[in-house]
Amino acid sequence: MSSMSRPGSANIERIDSHNKLKLKGDLHPLAKKVAAVVACLVYMTISSALIVLNQQLMNEDGFRYPMALSGLGMGFSAVASYIACNVLRVVEIKRKMTMRFYMLRIMPVGLFMALTLHFGNTVYLYLTVSFIQMLKAFTPIATMVALFVAGLEFPGKRLILAVLLIAVGTAIALVWGGQPECGGRCCACWPSETFEATRLVMTQILLVGLKFHPIEGLMYLAPACFVWLMAGVAVVEWPAMRDNHALQLILNKPAWYFAAAAMGFCVNLLAYMVIQTASSLTLKVRPSLPNLLIILRS
């Protein structure tokens, strides 16, 4: 097919293209909207629960290793998505990756995923959950700018106004609430928000442009992210983990850490579903309500 001869797509081979490239994966517009709403609701619920659980594991249980904790979720995601695609065959694999394509396009996305997870979890060691959730209201602005620069979306006036209102409201809440050292603490979240926006844009290009099924996309992206995280663990966190017998913490409460890993898989999968059925900006704007609930809970 001519579309496969475009630059950047020649490294992908179609498998059993016979009858597999029909509109089988394309949803009716109404069904797509319903799927997006359902995916958003479930994503908001599970992601909020995972935030609270990760914070407890790091601060209360003493597993203060953000990259290793993130690696549990990505490792689980890699194994679960591989089993779903290649063992259970729940998802039909339509594309086969070449090593060149994987290294040039998938590994960079995995790097930004790893950086996002690392910095996103690190801030929970130093800031309160409620404060971090308020700061995350600025992420839609970074995402909106990144999408515009990449030429993926051109937000209208109403969407821009809505996102700005969220950010302004958050800034007022931070100042009015008398948060100490507000400026310095806000800077602690900037790397996470910047990498998150970049990662979302790159993921949207990969998934929407190549029509990956969410589980198929996760099967390729999760191992890439896991490799980067484990490289970081080996260099930065492993010496302290070894000296402090951190693995014993996992053995003492295996159910907690398994739950965190399984929920990480669900959040990753649902995030890709939201990106495919809606957009990256939707993914970052919709969680504003559960963020509010987390703030009130704290």
Looking at per-residue confidence, does 19 or 227 come out higher?
Answer: 227
Across the range 269-292, mean pLDDT stands at 58
Could you tell me the residue range of the domain that residue 195 belongs to? 29-92+108-297
Q: Which amino acid is at 164?
A: L
pLDDT at 114: 94
Mean of per-residue pLDDT scores for the chain: 76
Give 14's DSSP letter. E
Angle at alpha carbon of residue 204, lines to 198 and 206, rounded to 5° = 105
Length in residues, the chain? 298
- Say if CB 265 and CB 70 are below 8 A apart: no
Run of H or E residues at 114 = helix 107-122
Q: Alpha-carbon distance 260 to 70, whole Å?
A: 9
- 8 A C-beta contact, residue 115 and residue 194: no
50: in domain: yes
Q: Is residue 100 part of a domain?
A: no
Q: H/E element holding 95?
A: strand 95-96
- Report helix, strand and coil shares of the chain as percent, to nearest 5: 80, 0, 20
Would 52 be classed as within a structural domain?
yes
181, pLDDT greater than 80: no
Greatest CA separation for the chain: 63
Q: Residue 8, class by beta-carbon neighbours within 10 Å (0-12 exposed, 13-18 middle, 19+ buried)?
A: exposed
pLDDT tens per residue across span 73-127: 999 999 999 999 999 988 888 777 889 989 988 999 899 999 989 988 888 887 7
Number of folded domains that form the chain: 1
- H or E segment and range at residue 66: helix 66-82
Confidence of residue 4 (pLDDT cuts 50, 70, 90): very low
pLDDT of residue 235: 96
Residue 79's Cβ-count burial label (10 Å; 0-12, 13-18, 19+) is: middle
Q: Is residue 46 part of a domain?
A: yes
pLDDT, greater one: 48 or 8: 48
Position 101 scores a pLDDT of 86
Handedness of CA 279, 218, 149, 41 (dihedral sign): positive
**Cβ–Cβ < 8 Å for 218, 272:** yes
Domain membership flag for residue 7 = no
* Listed range (122-131, 174-183, 232-241, 257-266) with the worst mean pLDDT: 174-183
Q: What is the pLDDT of residue 127?
A: 75
Residue 23 lies in a domain: no
Res 208 pLDDT > 80: no
Partner residues linked to 96 by β-bridges: 13
- Alpha-carbon distance of 223 to 82, in angstroms, equals 10
Q: Tokens 């914070």 — which residue?
A: 55
Q: How high is the pLDDT of residue 185?
A: 55
The highest-confidence range among 3-7, 28-32, 37-41, 165-169, by mean pLDDT, is 37-41
Separation between Cα atoms, residue 57 and residue 136, nearest integer Å: 21
Give a yes or no: residue 266 inside a domain.
Answer: yes
More confident residue, 177 or 235: 235
Q: What angle do CA 37, 293, 289 make, to 5 degrees?
A: 35
pLDDT digits (tens, 9 = 90+) for 133-174: 666 666 777 777 777 777 777 777 777 787 777 777 766 665
Residue 22 within any structural domain of the chain: no
Residue 256, H or E segment: helix 254-277
Cβ–Cβ under 8 Å, residues 64 and 125 = yes
